[in-house]
């Protein structure tokens, strides 16, 4: 584990140095008369702090510096887009050089890097505005079983914490109630790994208790649903379990609940909670011995075991986790990863005997930005046949 983390840290540091060197060139271009030593100190010290701010805040649990933590979270998006734009600019320069066009002038470099910075801020600004709207994604499914039609509201990845507060949860609840669901399923990542960063817990509990669903509200936990204490002590989820109880949400941890007379709803444990070890039942063990004439619905945070869940006899699988990539072009990466795993990173999936819906989530992880994806509540209308 540590060799992997160390290697990742080295790669990240090298990429930050690449971005920093190009931006420092801009500083020197616009302030040619200033001493290089003074400019280097004035630039590299705050730049290095910005690169590692999120790591420092999380390691030291500096929960009260709310504004600075949000500001530092935007660095993740700036880093990603700046890296992409700079690489694109350098490729353009390489093409010109191969065509024997001299483009190594300070003015050309300054213009290219300045354009990359402007594009970054434009992407971040538009992504921030887009993330603050909640859309409803509608699905109509024909599922094996019997009984009256069923409407499920599926949400996931609230990530209550730094950027998701009581006001946002209230908007989510309003969107759910407008859909008038029979049942609500919460497919994990309710919290963002640190409950101490939540300042309005009683208010959030009150908002969640406003959800109107005659057949109940059910949840499974995700990989971020860990009340982290420290790197040495790991974390637990006792406070999260108590929170869900107070909010009137039924937690299913490798458990099956009968819904009416025709449905089984199962919730799976997450296999990789951050900072914790976890074991769970296989899909076959979880669904073993159930009445095959009833409809089997499974909630699982990560959409990585579609073939196993289908083989176990599930009729419908509900997942989250992927955020559909959250920020383009990460959308292309998640699409490839989960398709290769035999499922999908977003939307409706049709197998031989099972269907699945993967939601892009209704909250954000890291920077409160969405580019090419939506914050959503999935509304699933089920017709039994």
Q: Which residues contact 122 (CB under 8 A, 6 or more apart)?
A: none
Q: Residue 323 half-sphere exposure, CB side, CA atoms within 13 Å?
A: 24
Token pair for 27: 């500083």
The pLDDT, as a whole number, for residue 229 is 52
Q: Which residues contact 338 (CB under 8 A, 6 or more apart)?
A: 303, 304, 322, 344, 345, 358
The pLDDT, as a whole number, for residue 93 is 86
Give the separation between CA 200 and CA 198, rounded to whole angstroms. Answer: 6
The pLDDT, as a whole number, for residue 33 is 81
235 - beta bridge partners? 228
Give the separation between CA 344 and CA 335, rounded to whole angstroms. Answer: 7
The pLDDT, as a whole number, for residue 239 is 92
CATH of domain 135-384: 3.60.21.10
The pLDDT, as a whole number, for residue 232 is 46
Mean pLDDT, each 10-residue run in order, the chain (385 residues):
75 95 91 87 92 76 69 89 94 85 79 94 95 96 93 97 91 98 97 84 96 97 81 71 96 96 95 84 96 96 96 97 94 94 95 97 93 97 94
Contact between residue 356 and residue 317 where contact means Cβ atoms under 8 Å apart: yes
Whose CA is closest to 253, among 274, 227, 234, 279? 279
Contact between residue 325 and residue 335 where contact means Cβ atoms under 8 Å apart: yes
Q: Please tell me the pTM assigned to this model.
A: 0.89
The pLDDT, as a whole number, for residue 70 is 80
Token pair for 83: 């890296």
Q: Is 157 exposed, middle or buried (0-12, 13-18, 19+ CB in 10 A)?
A: buried
- In the chain, CATH 3.60.21.10 sits at 135-384
Contact between residue 164 and residue 192 where contact means Cβ atoms under 8 Å apart: yes
């Amino acid at each position: 584990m540590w060799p992997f983390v160390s290697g990742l840290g080295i790669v990240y540091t090298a990429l930050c140095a690449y971005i920093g060197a190009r931006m420092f060139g801009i500083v020197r271009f616009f302030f040619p008369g200033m001493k290089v030593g003074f400019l280097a100190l004035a630039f590299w010290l705050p730049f290095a702090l910005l690169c590692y701010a999120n790591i420092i805040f999380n390691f030291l649990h500096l929960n009260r510096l709310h504004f600075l933590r949000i500001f530092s979270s935007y660095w993740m998006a700036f880093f990603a887009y700046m890296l992409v734009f700079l690489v694109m600019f350098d490729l353009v320069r390489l093409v010109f050089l191969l065509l024997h066009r001299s483009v190594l002038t300070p003015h050309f470099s300054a213009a290219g890097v300045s354009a990359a910075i402007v594009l970054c801020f434009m992407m971040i600004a538009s992504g921030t505005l887009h993330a603050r709207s909640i859309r409803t994604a509608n699905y109509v499914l024909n599922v094996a079983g019997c009984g009256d039609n069923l409407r499920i509201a599926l949400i996931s990845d609230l990530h209550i914490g730094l950027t998701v507060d009581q006001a946002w949860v209230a908007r989510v609840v309003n969107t759910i109630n407008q859909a008038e669901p029979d049942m609500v399923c919460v497919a994990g990542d309710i919290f963002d790994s640190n409950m101490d960063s939540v300042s309005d817990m009683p208010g959030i509990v009150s908002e969640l208790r406003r959800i109107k669903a005659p057949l109940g509200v059910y949840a499974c936990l995700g990989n971020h649903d860990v009340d982290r204490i420290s790197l040495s002590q790991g974390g637990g989820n006792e406070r999260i379990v108590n929170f869900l109880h107070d909010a009137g949400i039924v937690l299913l941890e490798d458990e099956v609940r009968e819904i009416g007379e025709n449905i089984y709803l199962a919730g799976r444990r997450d296999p990789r909670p951050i900072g914790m070890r976890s074991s769970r039942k296989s899909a076959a063990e979880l669904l073993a011995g159930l009445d095959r004439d009833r409809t089997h619905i499974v909630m699982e945070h990560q959409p990585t075991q579609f073939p196993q869940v289908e083989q176990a006899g599930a009729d419908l699988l509900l997942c989250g986790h992927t955020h559909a990539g959250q920020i383009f072009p990460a959308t292309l990466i998640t699409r490839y990863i989960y398709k290769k795993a035999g499922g999908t990173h977003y939307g409706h999936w049709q197998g031989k005997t099972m269907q699945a819906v993967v939601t892009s989530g209704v909250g954000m992880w890291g920077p409160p930005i969405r580019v090419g994806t939506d914050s959503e509540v999935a509304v699933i209308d089920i017709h039994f046949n």
